Structure 1
Amino acid sequence: MGTAADPAFDRETLRRGLEGDPDVLLSLYADDAELRIVDRTTQPSHPKVLHGRDEIGRMLEDVYSRDMSHRLEHCVVEGDAAAYSESCEYADGVRVLSESMLSLRDGKIAEQTLVQAWDE
């Protein structure tokens, strides 16, 4: 259990990172974080799994290099867990919606499961 001296997960920092600053977003992950992605191509029985900030950072670099906008829709933080909804839109109008469940450790994301769907 955390103490008052532990850094807290901050939804405004999450918003700032998601909506345009991938370096800020990456700073929210623990060094040994694990990110599981489930979507049409990486289904629940075989999700894409990224290990550590380096792999997660490469994925964020790719995503944020695209011509698209990101918006934090909802975020709930409860103790060592958080959940959020993100909506994205490519310049051509294609939309993406993702839902994430987070496990937090010392105010950082230790585990994340992201489920996403997009227009086809």
Structure 2
Amino acid sequence: MGTMSRPGFDTEALRRGIEGTTAATLLSLYADDAEIRVVDRNTQPSNPKVLHGRDEISAMLEDVYSRDMTHKLEQCLVDGDQVAFSESCRYSDGVRVLSESMLTLKDGKIVEQTMIQAWDE
């Protein structure tokens, strides 16, 4: 009797998506009905920014990748259908951003993400 394998999460695609210059690769990792919750100085835990679906996620990512900044995937851990990763970013003027994300996967696609971010002021 054979075993069925579940689709895996492509951590190298995550790295290429984060460190790339467009949102396309990163966006391809999300399910159509994915949800992202963003917690930061402006959208605190009691009232996070919540994005529903690929259209809203795409708009956010297009905005981020239109900025003059670099992104680096620092660490990534995968445990079944859970992924955690750290990302560091730097604007051209030297301002830095750090982000920690926890993902939930279904069939190898991101269905939920909670992102906590902080930046230099």
> What range is the shorter-chain TM-score in?
over 0.9
Q: Residue 9 of structure 1 aligns to a residue in which SS?
A: coil
- Separation in 2 of the partners of 1:7 and 1:96? 32
Q: RMSD of the alignment, in Å?
A: 0.7
Whether 2:19 is the aligned partner of 1:19: answer yes
TM-score by length of 1: 0.96
Could you say which residue in structure 1 is the equivalent of 2:87?
A: 86
Q: What is the count of residue pairs matched by the alignment?
A: 117
Q: Offset at 1:13?
A: 0.5
Gaps of 5+ in 2: none
- Separation in 2 of the partners of 1:41 and 1:59? 15
Q: Residue 33 of structure 2 aligns to a residue in which SS?
A: strand
Gaps of 5+ in 1: none
- Separation in 2 of the partners of 1:8 and 1:30? 14
AA aligned to 2:92 is A
Q: Offset at 1:22?
A: 1.3
TM-score by length of 2: 0.95
- Percent of matched pairs sharing the same residue: 73
User: Which one has the largest radius of gyration?
Assistant: 2
Q: Offset at 1:7?
A: 2.2
